Amino acid sequence: MPDVTAPPLDANAFAETYTPLSAHEATVEANRCLYCFDAPCLQACPTHIDIPTFIRKIGTGNLRGSARTILEANFLGGTCARVCPVQELCEGACVLNSEEKPIAIGRLQRYAVDHVQERGVQLFQPGPATGHRVAVVGSGPAGLSAAAELAKLGHAVTLLEKRELGGGLSTYGIIVLREPVEVSLREVEAVRALGVDVQTDRDLRTRADLDALLAEHDAVFLAVGLGAVPAMGMPGEEQVVDGLQFIEDSKVNPQALHVGQRVAVIGAGNTAIDAATIARRHGADVTMVYRRTESEMTAYRHEYEFALHEGIAYQFLTQPVRVVTEGKQVTGLECVKMILGTPDASGRPSPRPLPGSEFVIPCDQVIKAIGQEKPALAVELGLSLDKGYIAVNDAMQTSAPRVYAGGDCVRARGTASTVMAVQDGKYAAAAIHQHLSASKEAAHG
Amino acid sequence: MADLSINFAGIRAPNPFWLASAPPTNSGAQIHRAFEHGWGGAVWKTIGAPVLNISNRYGGLSIAGQRLLAINNVELISDRPLDVNLREIAEVKRMWPDRAVIVSAMVDADPQAWKDIVAMIEDTGADGIELNYGCPQGMSERGMGAAVGQVPEMCQLNTHWVTSITRLPVIVKLTPNITHIVDPAHAALAGGANALSLINTINSVMKIDLDTLRITPNIGGRGTHGGYAGPAVKPIALNMLAELMSDAQVRASGVPISGMGGIVTWRDAAEFLLLGATSLQVCTAAMHYGYRIVEDMIDGLSNWMDEKGFATIYDVAGKALPQTSTFGELDLAYQAVARIDPDKCINCNLCYVACNDTAHQCIDLVAGDGVRVEPGYDIRANGKHVADTRPQPVVRESDCVGCALCANVCPVDGCIEMVSVPSGRESITWDQLTAQRPEIATSWDAMMAYRKEVGIDIH
């Protein structure tokens, strides 16, 4: 099969799915908000943004105030406005769900935050210097959130990022249809504007690296995320494309992105759908392959429906067993049909192969997005683990003194999401601040 | 099918919807088009003394993204030459014999000036004359418009000058820019008016532009007050209509009243009719949406009348008037309390905050287990399911004074009802009470003793 990259369907194929609200749309939508007292949307938001207040401020034309209300509670309000599963959070809790359509909270939030960020308005100042130094490792949502909060409290923050660009998952892992790269880079710049020393191409690999950081800083916050897509252990896997890498290339290296004409995507989570969407928007015929059924898939319902709308096909109860190749060229994905049995440890029915049901899905590219490996770094650093993730207490403290962690790398419980990572960053910053303030008092006492 | 036709002081029209004297009735071509859309009549934009209009003329009121809830204008009377207007009036009346064509006029407070213009109006074949004693700006400074309407003696004298020389019905249009609307109404009746109309526009400064810091409309860097009209003024117009229709002298005179001020839909029209108006005038709504709006006004009013069993406009007219009262005539023993329907409640808790902050603190937040709780939440809890555990607002009826604030802020129709409950007290009005025991009106001790006696506890 020829090695071709299909051209985009049209020039707008990679524009943000949701267009920005116009001033009139925003005003009308903001005024639809009831301004609930002690509002459920505010409670539903993991970062507890005062949603009725920011919406009211849009309604009165106080966009700067609106953005401040958002960003005070969530420094990554621009990213969260785009990537949050609002149906599961704020909009899902909106009292208007019972009557009509919930308020478009996500889009209103984006309207207010974009207003100030596109104009380069700095709403926050670094706090008076405390003399304390904190290192934050990883510039994804958890790292940026913690760095911003610590800087606002007056601590000198060094933010280390192993890649070339800051922003972590927001920059590299969210497809541009949902969040353009410049949005997450603006948030990195906003942290820099608070005096945070952002150092890219700085990796932390060993316990010695951590000890070196601890020697120079009063505390370290690890926001290192997760690893690559795990191996499936099937023949021909070396020809399979890593879904995260595929998404990353589509964002920061689109010229190098190779997209097949017939693409099989293994997995049925949100990342799998993102990868499938990119391939589809490049003109590929895309089939998602999942060993369980629609009811067990981990993608949000709205994401699944979005994928169907995009024209992405699904093969449920299908387990890939071998990548069929001719030389190095993929020609198909051999699968076996599955049947669901009794619930497994995850509480979901366990799938088992149906003997003799092998068949081949013809394709020229296979992408896998079956989750991410747990943070290997945790073991290397000698930290206590919880189900393979870094173990932390309620104050985001790890087993090592002065070392805190947050974001996906600690997500042993609950759902990994940007907004939870942001909240972890806030919790960690508050805990570090409290610890440093106490130690200062002790020193003076 | 209801009969919407009216005979208003001898002026006949197929329906009560007239375009008010204003920009929508500025020319023959416009009124011709309006009549094609079905308007029952039109009051021609005021003719009279020579004027020069200025630019620009309108300020608009927007609230919460909704445009033109009111408009204010610094527009004067017709700036088209008198002879042009008169010729077009005659043409329109000739083409539309079944529609009401009324000519609004305004001239100097001088009998000869009125005599001249009345003769010219009569010659057009128009059905009536409306005396514009209302224009609050531009003309009043020249001794016309509101300058006449605000002084009852002037109102009576000018009206008399007109009614004494014309065979046409004379409608006196009253200005709301006055403390007691019945005073100029009495004066108009004394002057021989055949009908009244109200309200003209209200003095207003619409807004200040926060970018330029200038008054809107900005007229070459300066601003002035204008006449306020549109949906936002309806309650003021309804009150003035009710005041007139409740006045013994006005009622005894039997003159009909043409109601206007914020009529946008047939529903507004029905309210004016229920308070006793028998013709209706519309301006701002037509300026906002065009003449086409009259179709739904006619259709909606007709359907509503059919549903209610009203055969004619006169069956509707004044139906709500018997309820108009003074405070002194209201029953002090009447007691209503708010009742929240938990099945309809969407838990916005606006009733709770309104009652708690600004009323009588008689709504509690009650959790699912029936325990009263304070507002607030667990910062570790999140996700849409938090909506399922919202506490419910519940009225403590024993403490509810029945102010109805909660029912007014509730966004769900029919969720909070004001329910009449027995107060356990004998019916009595303030007028009766203070006639029996005058000391209650002057002594707090007497008032407190009375409350104790009848069991009124104000917490």
- Section A416-425 average pLDDT: 94
Answer whether residue A246 shows pLDDT above 50: yes
* DSSP one-letter string for A133-157: EEEEE--SHHHHHHHHHHHHTT-EE
Q: Which residue has the tokens 């590219």?
A: A365
- What's the rounded Cα separation, in Å, for the pair B390 and B373? 10
Is the separation of the CB atoms in B291 and B34 below 8 Å?
Answer: yes
- Section A93-99 average pLDDT: 92
- What's the rounded Cα separation, in Å, for the pair A43 and A94? 10
Q: Among residues of chain B, what percentage have pLDDT more than 90?
A: 92
Closest Cα partner for B229 from B297, B173, B152, B151? Answer: B173
Residue of chain A whose Cα is closest to the Cα of B374: A38
Per-residue model confidence (pLDDT) at position B276: 98
Per-residue model confidence (pLDDT) at position A9: 53
Give the containing element (helix H, strand E) for A350: strand A349-353
3 state DSSP class of B283:
coil
Q: Among residues of chain A, what percentage have pLDDT more than 90?
A: 81
Closest Cα partner for A204 from A188, A217, A191, A190? Answer: A217
Kindly report, residue by residue over A62-84, the tens digit of the pLDDT: 999 999 999 999 999 999 999 99
- What's the rounded Cα separation, in Å, for the pair A191 and A397? 23
Contact check, Cβ <8 Å, A95/B346: yes
Q: Does the CB of B348 have a partner CB in chain A at under 8 Å?
A: yes
- What's the rounded Cα separation, in Å, for the pair A157 and A167? 16
Q: CB-based burial of residue B292 (10 Å sphere; 0-12 exposed, 13-18 middle, 19+ buried)?
A: exposed
3 state DSSP class of B137:
coil
Contact check, Cβ <8 Å, A95/B65: no
Q: Does the CB of A100 have a partner CB in chain B at under 8 Å?
A: no
Q: Does the CB of B387 have a partner CB in chain A at under 8 Å?
A: yes
In which region does residue B382 sit, left (phi positive, over 0), alpha (psi from -120 to 50) or beta (all else)?
Answer: beta
Question: Any idea what DSSP says for residue A255?
Answer: G
Q: Does the CB of A440 have a partner CB in chain B at under 8 Å?
A: no
* DSSP one-letter string for B182-242: HHHHHHHHHTT-SEEEE---EEE--EE-TTT--EES-BTTB---EEEESGGGHHHHHHHHH
Contact check, Cβ <8 Å, B347/A36: yes
Kindly report, residue by residue over B188-225, the tens digit of the pLDDT: 999 999 999 999 999 999 999 999 999 999 999 999 99
Residue of chain A whose Cα is closest to the Cα of B378: A43
Kindly report, residue by residue over B143-166, the tens digit of the pLDDT: 877 788 899 999 999 999 999 999
Kindly report, residue by residue over B231-240, the tens digit of the pLDDT: 999 999 999 9
Angle CA(A308)–CA(A313)–CA(A316) in degrees, nearest 5?
105
Terminal CA-CA length for chain A = 75
Residue of chain B whose Cα is closest to the Cα of A27: B65
- Section A328-352 average pLDDT: 88
Closest Cα partner for B173 from B324, B302, B45, B271? Answer: B45
- What's the rounded Cα separation, in Å, for the pair B180 and B246? 13
A-chain CB neighbours of B64 within 8 Å are 27, 31, 59
Answer whether residue A111 shows pLDDT above 90: yes
The pLDDT-based confidence of A415 (bands split at 50, 70, 90) is: confident
Kindly report, residue by residue over B261-282, the tens digit of the pLDDT: 999 999 999 999 999 999 999 9
Q: Does the CB of B379 have a partner CB in chain A at under 8 Å?
A: yes
A-chain CB neighbours of B411 within 8 Å are 34
Residue of chain A whose Cα is closest to the Cα of B355: A37
Per-residue model confidence (pLDDT) at position B400: 95
Question: Any idea what DSSP says for residue A253?
Answer: -
- What's the rounded Cα separation, in Å, for the pair A61 and A57? 6
3 state DSSP class of A21:
coil
Buried b (16+ CB within 10 A) or exposed e, A405-432: bbbbbbbeeeebbbbbbbbbbbbbbbbb
User: How far is the alpha carbon of B291 from chain A, nearest alpha carbon, in Å?
Assistant: 26
Helices then strands, each counted (H, E), chain B: 16, 21
Q: CB-CB: which of B350, B386, B411 is closest to A93?
A: B386
Q: CB-CB: which of A36, A92, A96 is closest to B350?
A: A36
Contact check, Cβ <8 Å, A59/B64: yes
Contact check, Cβ <8 Å, B348/A98: no
- Section B284-301 average pLDDT: 98
- Section A358-374 average pLDDT: 94
Closest Cα partner for B195 from B217, B166, B173, B227? Answer: B173
Per-residue model confidence (pLDDT) at position A413: 73
Closest Cα partner for B348 from B413, B396, B418, B410? Answer: B410
Contact check, Cβ <8 Å, A37/B375: yes
Per-residue model confidence (pLDDT) at position A4: 44
B-chain CB neighbours of A42 within 8 Å are 377
A to B CB pairs, distance under 8 Å: 73
Establish whether B135 is a catalytic residue: yes
Given CA atoms A120, A121, A123, A129 in this order, what sign does their dihedral have? positive
Per-residue model confidence (pLDDT) at position A10: 65
Structure tokens at B88: 């077009």
Is the separation of the CB atoms in B92 and B127 below 8 Å?
Answer: no
Structure tokens at B1: 């099918």
* DSSP one-letter string for A160-177: E-SSSSS-THHHHTS-TT
Beta strand pairing call for B17-19 and B41-48: parallel
3 state DSSP class of A328:
coil
- Residue B363 neighbours by CB under 8 Å, 6+ apart: B338, B340, B351, B352, B355, B356, B393, B394, B395, B396, B406
> What is chain A's mean pLDDT, rounded?
93
E strands, A161-231, in order: 197-199, 219-222
- What's the rounded Cα separation, in Å, for the pair A185 and A257? 21
- What's the rounded Cα separation, in Å, for the pair B22 and B6? 22
User: How far is the alpha carbon of A36 from chain B, nearest alpha carbon, in Å?
Assistant: 5
Question: Any idea what DSSP says for residue B386?
Answer: G
- Section A150-157 average pLDDT: 98
Per annotation, catalytic residue among B135, B155, B351, B400:
B135
Angle CA(A280)–CA(A283)–CA(A284) in degrees, nearest 5?
65
Query: Backbone phi, then psi, for B198, in 5-degree steps?
Result: -165, 150
Note the ipTM here: 0.89
Q: Does the CB of A25 have a partner CB in chain B at under 8 Å?
A: no
Closest Cα partner for A418 from A205, A198, A192, A178? Answer: A178
Q: What is the CA radius of gyration of chain B?
A: 26
Supply the pTM of this predicted model: 0.91
In this structure, what is the dihedral angle of CA atoms A211, A216, A222, A227, given to the nearest 10 degrees? Answer: -60
User: How far is the alpha carbon of B394 from chain A, nearest alpha carbon, in Å?
Assistant: 15
Per-residue model confidence (pLDDT) at position B372: 96
- What's the rounded Cα separation, in Å, for the pair B435 and B441? 10
Per-residue model confidence (pLDDT) at position A6: 45
Kindly report, residue by residue over A5-50, the tens digit of the pLDDT: 444 456 678 888 889 999 999 999 999 999 999 999 999 999 999 9
Whether a cis peptide bond, with omega within 30° of 0, leads into A102 is no
Contact check, Cβ <8 Å, B387/A35: no
Per-residue model confidence (pLDDT) at position A7: 47
Structure tokens at B246: 């409740």
Q: Among residues of chain A, what percentage have pLDDT more than 70?
A: 97
Q: CB-based burial of residue A251 (10 Å sphere; 0-12 exposed, 13-18 middle, 19+ buried)?
A: buried
Kindly report, residue by residue over A184-214, the tens digit of the pLDDT: 999 999 999 999 999 999 999 999 999 999 9
Q: CB-based burial of residue A393 (10 Å sphere; 0-12 exposed, 13-18 middle, 19+ buried)?
A: exposed
CA A301 vs. chain centroid, Å, equals 17
Answer whether residue A1 shows pLDDT above 90: no
Kindly report, residue by residue over B73-94, the tens digit of the pLDDT: 999 999 999 999 999 999 999 9
B-chain CB neighbours of A418 within 8 Å are none
Give the Å distances, CA to CA, from A220 to A355, A426, A431.
52, 14, 12
Is the separation of the CB atoms in A139 and A117 below 8 Å?
Answer: no
Enumerate the β-bridge partners of residue A359: A335
Answer whether residue B335 shows pLDDT above 80: yes
Per-residue model confidence (pLDDT) at position A445: 54
Residue of chain B whose Cα is closest to the Cα of A23: B65
Q: Does the CB of B386 have a partner CB in chain A at under 8 Å?
A: yes
Angle CA(A294)–CA(A300)–CA(A304) in degrees, nearest 5?
55
Structure tokens at B383: 């996700």
Q: Does the CB of B211 have a partner CB in chain A at under 8 Å?
A: no
Enumerate the β-bridge partners of residue B363: B395
Query: Backbone phi, then psi, for A116, in 5-degree steps?
Result: -80, -40
Kindly report, residue by residue over B351-380, the tens digit of the pLDDT: 999 999 999 999 999 998 999 999 999 988
- What's the rounded Cα separation, in Å, for the pair B178 and B277? 20
Q: CB-CB: which of B346, B381, B412 is closest to A43?
A: B381
Best residue of A31, A36, A413 to probe chain B, by most B CBs closer than 10 Å: A36
- What's the rounded Cα separation, in Å, for the pair A49 and A86? 13
Lowest-pLDDT range of A84-98, A210-224, A296-310, A397-411: A296-310
Lowest-pLDDT range of A373-377, B303-307, B410-414: A373-377
Closest Cα partner for A248 from A348, A150, A174? Answer: A174
Contact check, Cβ <8 Å, A89/B383: yes
User: How far is the alpha carbon of B345 from chain A, nearest alpha carbon, in Å?
Assistant: 9
Contact check, Cβ <8 Å, A38/B411: no
User: How far is the alpha carbon of B408 from chain A, nearest alpha carbon, in Å?
Assistant: 13
Closest Cα partner for B245 from B219, B271, B226, B266? Answer: B271
- Section A144-169 average pLDDT: 97
Q: Does the CB of B392 have a partner CB in chain A at under 8 Å?
A: no
Query: Backbone phi, then psi, for B104, in 5-degree steps?
Result: -85, 140
Q: CB-CB: which of B64, B346, B386 is closest to A43?
A: B386
Whether a cis peptide bond, with omega within 30° of 0, leads into B293 is no
Contact check, Cβ <8 Å, A43/B65: no
A-chain CB neighbours of B346 within 8 Å are 95-96, 98-99
- What's the rounded Cα separation, in Å, for the pair B92 and B112? 27
Residues 55-74, chain A, touching B (beta carbon < 8 A): 59
In which region does residue B266 sit, left (phi positive, over 0), alpha (psi from -120 to 50) or beta (all else)?
Answer: alpha
- C-beta neighbour count of B373 within 10 angstroms: 13
Q: Does the CB of A430 have a partner CB in chain B at under 8 Å?
A: no
- What's the rounded Cα separation, in Å, for the pair B212 and B218? 10
Best residue of A21, A32, A34, A50 to probe chain B, by most B CBs closer than 10 Å: A34
User: CB-hemisphere CA count at 13 Å for A375?
Assistant: 30
- What's the rounded Cα separation, in Å, for the pair B197 and B279? 9
